[in-house]
Structure 1
Amino acid sequence: RLMKYLKDRNTWVWICYILLVLSTAFVSFQVYALGVFPDKVLYPFLLVLGLICLIAFLLNLEFKHSKKVVIGVLVASVLLSSLYMLGAYYIYLTNGTLASVTTIKNTNDNNVSVVVMNDSDTHTLEELAGKKIGVLKNIDKGGTEKALEQIQKEMPVEFEQVELDSVPQEAKALYSGEVDAVILNEAYRTNVTELDDYADFSQRTRVVFQAHFKTSATNEALAVSDVTTKPYNILISGNDTYGDVGELSRSDVNMVVTVNPMTSTVLLTSIPRDSYVPVDCGDAYACAEGELDKITHTGINGITSTKRTVEKLLNIDINYTFRVNFSSVTNIVDSLGGIDIEVPEGQAVETFYADSTLEGVTEGWNHLNGERALSFARERYAYVDGDNQRVRNQQMVLKAIFNKATSPEIIVNYASLLNALESAFDTTLSQDEITSFIKYQIQAMPGWKFETYQVSGEGSTLFCPSLGQAAYVTVLDENTVALAHDKIQAVLDGKDADEVTEPQTEESEGNLYQQDLTGTDVYSGTEYDGDYPDYYDASQWDTSAAGDMEEPPYGSTEDIYDPDQSAEDSSQD
């Protein structure tokens, strides 16, 4: 019956055959351009596509008078053409995704807001006239200046600037009505919302104006000659924000991934987000170069600052960076159809602090969607080991994502994964390096061995320049820092990191924080040899918000802090 509708059936058959040839050529080109398939897979695949076209051509010639053969060739040509075009489309998207995430940005995105209380009568810049605006005196001077410039350009108004010493002081002044508005870099917002007194800051305030500007960035790769044969280090930096992964924010995940393709070994070395280390400012122009601060605050300066700080701390070279945020985790995990993690005995969590509405995890295997995976990776308050357990959870999530992404199930979830990856991360790995690694994975099918380690230390409360006040920190154990360096070096040298159990040297060159961290901590009483640097002078600390710390110290602030006590005097511990 179909043939009755085709007045010239041969013409239709040949049209469909031409479409088959064109779609075959198109998909062949896309597969070849993608560059992920090894030669032993690529060329047989292209040969099969060519043979299919040849067979269709011969059938058209030999059986052009056979109704069944003609209909069969016609239907097969249409189906194959559709399949090829769909495949070529997805390969095209893959190339686009790889090009997008490997495009190195030479700028950092900055957003500085004018924030008022929800019940304020200020809704426009014009209504700021004659009012008091809180600005940070020493922190983020550059951001404040940029915001003031844009305000005057948008709507020239006169208002009174009230200088404040710290971000918590800004929140306190706004809540109390001491000022009508504050100028706040959005990178510091989470520093406010983590404080118990201002946990509802985002709900009780609103933004009436936001200045957007870019600052230069020079995050370049220290590329190896061949990622399939040479070992290298990747820094994974996880920002504590949703949305655009390029927006400056704290780096709450700091993990060095050491890859040795020749031994099929991957070492994950985690650094607690509260680690108290000397800061390398990188590209930032409003930063306390060389002073001790929490490593999470380096993310506010940009990933270059985090990378260089980690390099100096561990005395290693970082070859590549890989930056993600909260949205990255949820979107990637969901695109994979969820991940499976095994919770050790005693580590079950009934509900997560980040979202108490979510079901926690039980001992044994758990299947997590994106939101639960993110909450599991952020959980620390449920554990006695706090931040140390959190970094172990982050390592488990990363391994689970890697295992799911390299499993056969990826075929089913490929389209959704591409959509998730488009805006999920940025990296200094090049597109050629990524495709070379994928090709290596397909060809060699290595059985990757994962090893993990984390540096650790003691909790304390010390001055953080980026906050302008004292805060809870982790003073790292120099032996764990030295051991981290030695384990990384062992994997780079083709050895097993698990075999390295003691530091190979008495003092690692990477322990730069140790040479300055000296004296007696006026909060914890911890003894260190030598003298405090100038920025430990208690008289310089902001004590007006002493109770507004990111994590409370042991006991009350009255018991542990006396502004008249010198750094050398530990009699009032």
Structure 2
Amino acid sequence: MGRPIPPPPASSPTTYRAARARWWHRRRVARSLGAPGPPRHRWSWLPPTLVTLLVLVILVVAGGAWLYIWAEGNLRHVAALGDYAGRPAAGKGTNWLLVGSDSRSQLTPQQRRDLHVGNGRVQNTDTIMVLHSGDHGPTLVSLPRDSYVPIPGHGSRKINEAFADGGPQLLTRTVEQATGLRIDRYAEVSFLGLVQVVDALGGVRLCLDEPLKDEKSGADFPAGCRRMNGPQALAYARARYADPNGDLGRVKRQRQLIGAVADGMASSDVLLDPPRSKRVLDAALAALTVDEDADMAELLGMGRSMRQIAGGGGTATTVPVVRPGVMVGGVGSVLPWEENGANRLFQALREDDRIPTSADK
């Protein structure tokens, strides 16, 4: 066994070619006698499939970095958080207020028919949730739209009316004063935008324990699991009149849909397909509005928390209520909160403790 034969030095092209030919001849002779050949390239120990995978990862990361920068520049912001006398102090962890706006001003007549909505242009919200992220994992708390709470300057009314009366700032202030939680970040998804995000994902898979038929929302689904497109998913999340639990049943379906969307956006089918990622991001950014200081890093963190909840790694619950269908003169059927249970829930979130209620998936 001899020492490896070094390659010839590079001098003039003619001398180099002749020396190279002699080197190859000596190498073949040496290899036939058992001598080691020239040193291999430092990457040659990697299997070809692994080399290909590394190249793909580099391309995906590069594409992801470009998409991140592009998305950061296309985020839409709104003034949603403001200081006022008596605002709750900051607690532990981070609190997002997640809102689903059902404004229909941008819907075409055909879209209104497809989505089973009327022609009203009132800005309202069917979905209000608080997402808390802390040391014990994420907790998602649904605040039913019919929750009966004080709205600053408007008396006690249904919580969703705060959004109609004063937009994001009044809704945020209402939620802060009703819960005692300081809202750190705000995200709003539009009525039509959710449909477009679901369609950009190629639909989402949703499961029903029982058949669901609601003429007002357009929901008509048998029991079992199925892949729903945008209009179907929206009808599923909006249905409440045929549900014996009313608004309480609807908030569970809303959480299920949001979790399915978050799961779909984080799937390898989307992340490893840059053109598809771009289409999904286009739809998401068109649907989404955040507070003035929110950025993509925080949105990605919020998305991870939502996906964790969808996968069973967090807690999802609804604020405790006294009982459904309490009638209040001039207001209608409302959901008053059960004071002791609600106070314990929000106190736990303020102190970033485990919530005292069981998970309500």
Q: How far apart, CA to CA, are the structure 1 residues paired with 2:214 and 2:315?
A: 28
Q: Does 1:460 align with 2:326?
A: yes
Q: Does 1:294 align with 2:131?
A: no
Q: Does 1:324 align with 2:157?
A: no
Among all aligned residue pairs of Structure 1 and Structure 2, give the percentage whose two residues are the same amino acid: 23
Kindly report structure 1 stretches of 4+ aligned residues shifted beyond 4 Å. 86-94, 217-220, 438-441, 496-501
Note the 1:145-544 alignment, pairs <5 A.
219=82, 231-242=93-104, 249-260=123-134, 262-263=135-136, 265-280=137-152, 289=153, 291-300=155-164, 301-344=166-209, 347-355=210-218, 360-411=220-271, 412=273, 413-428=276-291, 430-431=294-295, 433-434=297-298, 437=301, 449-455=313-319, 456-458=321-323, 459-463=325-329, 469-489=330-350, 492-493=352-353, 495=354, 498=357
Structure 2 letter corresponding to 1:334: D
Taking structure 1 as reference, are residues 279 and 416 closer, same or farther at Cα in structure 2, changes over 3 Å only?
Answer: same
Q: Is the 1:314–1:484 Cα contact (8 Å) retained in structure 2? A: no
Taking structure 1 as reference, are residues 313 and 438 closer, same or farther at Cα in structure 2, changes over 3 Å only?
Answer: closer
Give me the TM-score of the superposition, normalised by structure 2: 0.65
How far the C-alpha of 1:402 sits from its partner, in A, is 1.5
Q: How far apart, CA to CA, are the structure 1 residues paired with 2:106 and 2:74?
A: 13
Q: How far apart, CA to CA, are the structure 1 residues paired with 2:154 and 2:171?
A: 13
How far the C-alpha of 1:375 sits from its partner, in A, is 0.8
Q: How far apart, CA to CA, are the structure 1 residues paired with 2:126 and 2:257?
A: 15
Q: Is the 1:251–1:298 Cα contact (8 Å) retained in structure 2? A: no
Equivalent position SS for 1:255: strand
How far the C-alpha of 1:477 sits from its partner, in A, is 2.4
Structure 1 letter corresponding to 2:279: S
How far the C-alpha of 1:486 sits from its partner, in A, is 4.0
How far the C-alpha of 1:90 sits from its partner, in A, is 7.5
Give me the TM-score of the superposition, normalised by structure 1: 0.43
Q: Is the 1:377–1:394 Cα contact (8 Å) retained in structure 2? A: yes
Superposed CA offset, 1:457-479 (max 9, x none): 3323324xxxxx44332233223
How far the C-alpha of 1:87 sits from its partner, in A, is 9.0
Taking structure 1 as reference, are residues 415 and 484 closer, same or farther at Cα in structure 2, changes over 3 Å only?
Answer: same
How far the C-alpha of 1:100 sits from its partner, in A, is 2.6
Q: Does 1:105 align with 2:105?
A: no
Q: How far apart, CA to CA, are the structure 2 residues paired with 1:95 and 1:267?
A: 29
- Unaligned 5+ runs, structure 2: 1-41, 44-54, 108-120, 306-310
Equivalent position SS for 1:449: coil
Structure 1 letter corresponding to 2:228: L
Q: How far apart, CA to CA, are the structure 1 residues paired with 2:215 and 2:246?
A: 13
Q: How far apart, CA to CA, are the structure 1 residues paired with 2:232 and 2:102?
A: 16
Equivalent position SS for 1:475: coil
Taking structure 1 as reference, are residues 351 and 380 closer, same or farther at Cα in structure 2, changes over 3 Å only?
Answer: closer
- Which one scores higher on RCO, CA 8 angstroms, separation ≥ 6? 2
Taking structure 1 as reference, are residues 377 and 487 closer, same or farther at Cα in structure 2, changes over 3 Å only?
Answer: farther
Q: Is the 1:486–1:500 Cα contact (8 Å) retained in structure 2? A: no
Taking structure 1 as reference, are residues 87 and 475 closer, same or farther at Cα in structure 2, changes over 3 Å only?
Answer: closer
Q: CA RMSD in A?
A: 3.8
How far the C-alpha of 1:335 sits from its partner, in A, is 1.3
- Of 232-241 and 447-456, deviating more is 447-456
Q: How far apart, CA to CA, are the structure 1 residues paired with 2:198 and 2:358?
A: 33
Structure 2 letter corresponding to 1:95: I
Q: Is the 2:193–2:286 Cα contact (8 Å) retained in structure 1? A: yes
Equivalent position SS for 1:457: coil
How far the C-alpha of 1:434 sits from its partner, in A, is 3.0
How far the C-alpha of 1:418 sits from its partner, in A, is 1.5
Q: How far apart, CA to CA, are the structure 2 residues paired with 1:305 and 1:279?
A: 8
Equivalent position SS for 2:287: coil
Taking structure 1 as reference, are residues 352 and 279 closer, same or farther at Cα in structure 2, changes over 3 Å only?
Answer: same
Taking structure 1 as reference, are residues 363 and 483 closer, same or farther at Cα in structure 2, changes over 3 Å only?
Answer: farther
How far the C-alpha of 1:314 sits from its partner, in A, is 1.4
Q: Is the 2:158–2:331 Cα contact (8 Å) retained in structure 1? A: no
How far the C-alpha of 1:363 sits from its partner, in A, is 2.4
Q: Is the 1:235–1:321 Cα contact (8 Å) retained in structure 2? A: yes
How far the C-alpha of 1:293 sits from its partner, in A, is 1.0
Q: How far apart, CA to CA, are the structure 1 residues paired with 2:255 and 2:148?
A: 21
